[in-house]
Structure 1
């Protein structure tokens, strides 16, 4: 089941992340500065992506009874969507890193392990293509959810287990406070952003049980929570940079999770209940959102290098170049989706149907 409004939220999330990163491009390549710290609000895009992932996972698995077949189908669909484009983008970056490491974010970091990066295994530093850190979190949740699907529990019993798992994991993180540099695996397993996946899953269960009855109030409260959260986040109101108990990651979960969950639930609800849904280009860009998310670091830096060669004093060229870079990144994402992501995903789906069609469903196994 495809919900147009959720695709639009995906597009918004991808552009928010692009906004956060394009400020770095301006600082490095431009002369003058029209963007500023306010672009940190773009970090919300990642939090929204995580909530959407949790929501969609429940949505696509609600009819399954569980068992090896269902778990395998789910994990296959996730792995074949995540890895091929990740491998393509990372491979495009490797030659640049080998010959001009100063052009690559993180290209001069202490620990570079291409094997771990290709497999999305956590390490003390971010992957060479830095947007990959979010994919590591995605794969962690996919693997746990697939393991849960192996047990023929039915839909209603999954949410309590997810909540218990998230509560225990995040509580251990608060107690142990693992460092990224020394304990990357433990830090991943107990990371507070795990709660965003769970919030998305809970929103999907609520959406199904209420049939979207609370959609309009959820959108209103979610919009207010977003404005408040972004304002506090940009101004460092929780002291996230002070090294205290409220770390940066904990602060962003506190400030961004409520709005992301409420807006996701609300957007899905008004489409289901009132048939209020967006169409056209915003939905299409949502389809390209994964390509936009992974390719924008490469394309924005390329366009930024070109801009840097012709940048002039004053802010006029900034006002022209920054939207042009965003447009260029969008066109690259469209090409990536059309020429690579969509064909690969289509072929992988057909192969998965042949593989898992041979296994009996859980109802026959129980």
Structure 2
């Protein structure tokens, strides 16, 4: 099954990327428009928990990284190639986004230190995100990628380091409540492990009822989302892990269904999945501009619900343009000079 999956991109994985990015856009649109200087109203409370898209993406990341590199362990050259792929996938687009946003942040007279800038460009640990809010998740991704690279280079050392890292992340709320250990052992890191578990079950072909698996995942993830959105469940480590288990079941059920039934999804959803990193990366700075426009349009009697859709759509559109003009050309360039073979992109 791994061989089948590695020969082409799985559409359900792209759908998952699109879902995660759009959920986060909805969350940030809600936060932005609820500010008194804009609409001053929480238009769609359901998106109070839209940041759960990040939790879905962490699980997805663990699954896809193993799907793409399961056969690379034990080779130092493969470790170097893995690091190069991760660098080209994340950093060039991030640097362009930061170069665009930093002047705006400085114009707002934000107090940025040299380390704020340095850590943002290299995704080093930091206590508070100073420039682009969503970049905090990439800092955690980098830790996962570093441990995975070690595992490729030396599986024994890497697997031990990974197991210890996940175990300490599981107990972080009790043992390491403050920065920097709270960052290094964040409870969301457990979700990478759930993604790895999903891949292992997928590779073993142990899922006999993928529809049931997918349904249970949707119920758990969606139920946690609703409970958190309306205050019945706190945003904490427990809700994070509930999201994680739900996402694991959704991803696992989806990919098994796709490989067994040749499932195909609308191209627009696949495209949004391909553009999801750009959407995720640049939508938040764009929302403020669209929110200002929405505030002026409100005087024309346009319902807040429609203004919400307009602002969110604007944020997505900016991300899509960034993907077409910046991220995709950069990926093509680096793949060309690096001679990276076509594989499932993480």
- TM category (shorter chain) comes to 0.7 to 0.9
Compute the displacement of 1:206 (Å): 0.8
Q: What secondary structure, in the 3-state scheme, does the structure 1 residue paired with 2:264 have?
A: coil
Look up the match of 1:346.
Answer: 332
Q: What secondary structure, in the 3-state scheme, does the structure 1 residue paired with 2:177 have?
A: coil
Look up the match of 2:98.
Answer: 90
Look up the match of 2:168.
Answer: 169
Q: What secondary structure, in the 3-state scheme, does the structure 1 residue paired with 2:50 have?
A: helix
Q: Is residue 226–residue 256 contact of structure 1 (8 Å, CA) maintained in 2?
A: yes
Look up the match of 1:118.
Answer: 121
Look up the match of 1:62.
Answer: 70
The CA deviation string for residues 108-158 of structure 1, in whole angstroms up to 9 with x for no partner, is 6899721111111111211311100000001110011011100257xxx98
Relative distance call for 1:346 and 1:25 in structure 2 (3 A) is same
Alignment partner of 1:6 is 2:13: yes
Using structure 1 for the length normalisation, give the TM-score.
0.83
Alignment partner of 1:278 is 2:286: no
User: What are the within-5 Å matches in structure 2 for residues 230-309 of structure 1?
Assistant: 230-238=225-233, 240=234, 248-309=235-296
The CA deviation string for residues 153-200 of structure 1, in whole angstroms up to 9 with x for no partner, is 7xxx98x64762344322552443231xxx32x222211111001101
Cα distance in 2 for residues equivalent to 1:163 and 1:142: 10
Compute the displacement of 1:90 (Å): 1.5
User: What are the within-5 Å matches in structure 2 for residues 319-358 of structure 1?
Assistant: 319-353=305-339
**1:146 equivalent among 135, 144, 149:** 149
Look up the match of 1:136.
Answer: 139
Alignment partner of 1:33 is 2:36: no
Look up the match of 1:361.
Answer: none
Alignment partner of 1:216 is 2:211: yes
Q: How many residue pairs were aligned? A: 333
Q: Is residue 147–residue 162 contact of structure 2 (8 Å, CA) maintained in 1?
A: no
User: What are the within-5 Å matches in structure 2 for residues 156-195 of structure 1?
Assistant: 161=160, 164-171=163-170, 173-179=172-178, 183-184=179-180, 186-195=181-190
Cα distance in 2 for residues equivalent to 1:90 and 1:117: 8
Q: Is residue 213–residue 273 contact of structure 1 (8 Å, CA) maintained in 2?
A: no
Q: Is residue 212–residue 269 contact of structure 1 (8 Å, CA) maintained in 2?
A: yes
Q: Is residue 191–residue 241 contact of structure 2 (8 Å, CA) maintained in 1?
A: no
Query: Which is worse superposed, 86-95 or 107-116?
Result: 107-116
Using structure 2 for the length normalisation, give the TM-score.
0.88
Cα distance in 2 for residues equivalent to 1:4 and 1:122: 33
Look up the match of 1:104.
Answer: none
Relative distance call for 1:227 and 1:168 in structure 2 (3 A) is closer
Cα distance in 2 for residues equivalent to 1:320 and 1:37: 15
Look up the match of 1:243.
Answer: none
Compute the displacement of 1:290 (Å): 0.3
Cα distance in 2 for residues equivalent to 1:313 and 1:109: 38
Cα distance in 2 for residues equivalent to 1:330 and 1:176: 39
Query: Which is worse superposed, 114-123 or 133-142?
Result: 114-123
Q: What secondary structure, in the 3-state scheme, does the structure 2 residue paired with 1:113 have?
A: helix
The CA deviation string for residues 240-262 of structure 1, in whole angstroms up to 9 with x for no partner, is 4xxxxxxx441332331111111
Q: Is residue 279–residue 319 contact of structure 2 (8 Å, CA) maintained in 1?
A: yes
- Measured on the aligned residues, the alpha-carbon RMSD in Å equals 2.5
Compute the displacement of 1:338 (Å): 1.3
Q: Is residue 51–residue 196 contact of structure 1 (8 Å, CA) maintained in 2?
A: yes
